[in-house]
Amino acid sequence: MNPKEAYAAKPWLKHYPEGVLENIEVPAMSVPELFDRVVKKYGNKTALIFYGNKISYAKLKELIDRFATALADLGVKKGDTVALYLLNCPQYVIAYFAALKMGAKVTPISPVYTSHEIKHQLQDSDATTVVCQDILYDNVEKTGVVMKNVILTSIADYLPTFKKLLGKGALGKVYSEMHVPTPKFMKEAGLLQFQDLIKKYPPQPPKVTIDPVKDIAALPYTGGTTGLPKAAILTHSNMVALQAQVMAFWPFFEEGNELVMAFLPFFHIYGQVVVMLGSLSQGFTMVLFTTPDIDDILSAMERYQASAFYGVPTMFEYLKEYEKTDRVNWKRLKLIACGADTLHESTIAAWERRTGSKIFEGYGMTETTAISHGSPYHRPKNGSFGVPLPGMKAAIVGHEGTDFLPIGEVGELILNGPNIMQGYWKREEGTRESLIDIDGEKWLRTGDLVSMDEEGYFHFFDRKRDLIKYKGYSVFARHVEEVLFKHPQIKAAGVVGVPDPKVGQLIKAYVVLESEARGKISEEEIIAFCKENLAHYKVPKIIEFRGELPKTDVGKVSRRELREEGEER
């Protein structure tokens, strides 16, 4: 069997849970239609719990329809872009679905972005309206971008009365340098208030016809290897397909009868599509957190009897050692999932010892509408991020060219499926590089170096751009990091290649020691440890101790920033 046929045979199908089919049927409907269908079934059920305040599906639909009516009256029409510069809160959900209902597309902006980054996204996405947290408005004003509509909202608007001051105080500490515009300033600047619009307009939005296959639902921005972020074009059909794929792969979820913790940020594709859309398209209850406070999350998990928990590696790293983790009966949950970065094997082992439960790893990216692979719940495999979801095709090709590689060899992961983006917004060259044609089919080059084993399980090695070339050898940064993590006194590590005219790239490790080890362990000791556990060419030549490492929006170590630092020096 040649390599191409080996992938076409989909060996992973043998390990699908019983009853999970190879393909899925994508409903021919838009995201708002999917939501409205759920409301008809579960109108009286609780859709959101926001620090004790419960909002039913019927009430949420009414709020969405009121805001959609307001947007229409403000001139938002089909094809426009609405920017959401918000923390997790009910207003995020309301504005998101209302914009989509009007045929507009949403572009979510990270609350930690600088005004420079916000300016790029507002201009690049052609946003005409922005829905903004009042405490974040300063950053929008500093961009100098003239918007048709600026709608401000307060985190306190949907908090229970006794928590309004508490909520403002907690956020005030996090965003201490931000100022809420005064009513006088708002009036003079022509700023609108979210709650005023909700009260003013009836829940009677105009009917807008949406073509799920052609019409864009979202422009989420993803970090480029160089330069400014670019937006993946996701249609309604991409998003509806992903929900169908996930529901088919995890059939143990009972529609209308699950409760999910929603602390992952909605501006990120993981929080937005897997948690928010995944919950609200299946009638689940979503417990919403503005900031990921561990104590609040653990208390809510027991209080409301959560059935699903979606996290990132840094969260599990922290929880495996946290004193209050045992307050939750983790074995009771139907699914504990991890995505957005690679979970270290030491974390998996420590978690299982501590909680008696398993973490199910998955894989995806903004360009795949969040997910492409998941671990079969009856048969996960340590060190693997699982198998392709129903409806997906996956293969490994050489990281240059499109030759299929034999099973077991490391190369670039390529994907084909109904959840693959349409391209990059305003980036024709980037689209041509990422979406390639093989025998008349559209495949996504992921930029990730992986392998597939004989059973069809996939294993992550590194980002293509993080591969280090030392004296002709290829070194995976992640392999070196895995070894560093085994050192009992290393808390965090990031490995990059720095340019060197003699050898190509030198391997440099940025290391954060446990507090009790700082000043007591030398660079030479770390290098000696690596020599015992790594081939000679993989041993870091430079060790730099740090108090902390730069992180991305979802808490993974930002190798890009470390690499840029190393190159500058």
Query: Does 166 have pLDDT greater than 70?
Result: no
Question: DSSP state, 386?
Answer: B
Of 147, 174, 209, the residue at which a domain comes to its end is 209
360-363 and 216-218 as β-strands: parallel, antiparallel, unpaired?
A: unpaired
Sequence letter at residue 130: V
Does residue 418 sit in the same domain as residue 336? yes
- Determine the structural domain holding residue 276 and report its residue range: 3-26+231-462
Could you tell me the two tokens for 343?
């979970």
Q: Has residue 344 been placed in a domain?
A: yes
Sequence letter at residue 208: V
Does residue 165 sit in the same domain as residue 185? yes
Q: Look at residue 162 in the predicted model and tell me its pLDDT.
A: 64
Residue 218, strand partner residues:
106, 234
Say how far apart CA 282 and CA 47 lie, in whole Å: 10
Q: Has residue 221 been placed in a domain?
A: no
Please give the mean pLDDT across all residues of the chain: 91
Nearest to 466 by CA among 501, 434, 504, 496: 496
DSSP string covering 39-72, please? HHHHTTSEEEEETTEEEEHHHHHHHHHHHHHHHH
Does residue 20 sit in the same domain as residue 139? no
CATH number of the CATH domain containing 352: 3.40.50.12780
For 65-118, how does the pLDDT look when each residue is reduced to its tens digit (9 = 90+)? Answer: 999 999 999 999 999 999 999 999 999 999 999 999 999 999 999 998 889 889
For 509-554, how does the pLDDT look when each residue is reduced to its tens digit (9 = 90+)? Answer: 999 999 898 989 999 999 999 999 888 889 999 999 999 998 876 6
Sequence-ordered alpha helix ranges (H) in 228-273: 236-249, 269
Q: Look at residue 226 in the predicted model and tell me its pLDDT.
A: 43
Does residue 314 sit in the same domain as residue 396? yes
Does residue 450 sit in the same domain as residue 487? no
Q: Has residue 107 been placed in a domain?
A: yes
Residue reference for tokens 């913790």: 261
DSSP string covering 416-440, please? ESTTS---BTT-HHHHHHHEEEETT
Question: DSSP state, 232?
Answer: B
Could you tell me the two tokens for 384?
């693997």
Q: Residue 383: what are its φ and ψ, rounded to 5°?
A: 85, 0
Radius of gyration of the chain (CA): 24
Number of separate domains in the chain:
3
CATH number of the CATH domain containing 543: 3.30.300.30
Q: Look at residue 164 in the predicted model and tell me its pLDDT.
A: 60
Say how far apart CA 89 and CA 425 lie, in whole Å: 27
Q: Has residue 205 been placed in a domain?
A: yes
Does residue 447 sit in the same domain as residue 539? no
Does residue 279 sit in the same domain as residue 339? yes
Q: Look at residue 395 in the predicted model and tell me its pLDDT.
A: 97
Of 178, 209, 240, the residue at which a domain comes to its end is 209
Does residue 427 sit in the same domain as residue 530? no
Q: Which H or E run contains 121?
A: helix 115-124
Nearest to 468 by CA among 477, 459, 460: 477
Say how far apart CA 26 and CA 42 lie, in whole Å: 22
Does residue 450 sit in the same domain as residue 485? no
Nearest to 478 by CA among 521, 439, 448: 448
435-438 and 230-231 as β-strands: parallel, antiparallel, unpaired?
A: unpaired
For 8-45, how does the pLDDT look when each residue is reduced to its tens digit (9 = 90+)? Answer: 999 999 999 999 999 999 999 999 999 999 999 999 99
Could you tell me the two tokens for 206?
């105009």
Q: Look at residue 418 in the predicted model and tell me its pLDDT.
A: 97
DSSP string covering 148-205, please? SEEEEE-GGGGS-GGGHHHHHHHHHHHTTT--PPPHHHHHHHT-EEHHHHHHHS-S-P
Say how far apart CA 451 and CA 411 lie, in whole Å: 6
